[in-house]
Amino acid sequence: MTPLDDHSQWRRPIFYPVVLATVLLTIIGMIGGYLLSERKDRTPVVATSTDPSSYTPSAPPTLLATDGLCPQQTQDIGPTQGAQGELSQVLRRSTTRGTVIWICQDTAGRLFYHANKGGESAPWVEGETALFLRDVTRQPDGSFEGTAADGSIFNLNDERLLITRLGGKQQVQELAPE
So what's the pLDDT on residue 111? 96
Summarised one tens digit per residue, pLDDT across range 78-115 is 999 999 999 999 999 999 989 999 999 999 999 999 99
Mean pLDDT of 145-165: 93
So what's the pLDDT on residue 39? 65
What phi, psi does 88 have (nearest 5°)? -90, 145
Strand partners, 116: 100, 130
Summarised one tens digit per residue, pLDDT across range 14-62 is 888 888 999 999 999 888 888 877 765 544 444 444 443 443 333 344 4
Residue 172 has pLDDT above 50, yes or no: yes
So what's the pLDDT on residue 56? 39
- What is the distance between the alpha carbons of residues 134 and 112, in angstroms, rounded to a whole number? 5
Dihedral in degrees, nearest 10, Cα atoms 140, 144, 146, 152: -90
Angle at 82 between CA 84 and CA 148, to 5 degrees: 135
Strand partners, 101: 93, 115
Task: Compute how many other C-beta atoms are within 10 angstroms of the C-beta atom of residue 153.
Answer: 15
Size of the chain, expressed as the number of residues it contains: 178
Confidence (pTM): 0.61
Mean pLDDT of 59-73: 65
Average of per-residue pLDDT values in the chain: 81
Strand partners, 170: 164
7-11, 86-90, 92-96, 140-144: which has the minimum mean pLDDT?
7-11
- What is the distance between the alpha carbons of residues 70 and 83, in angstroms, rounded to a whole number? 12
Q: Is residue 64 within 8 Å of residue 88, measured between CB atoms? A: no
Residue 2 has pLDDT above 80, yes or no: no
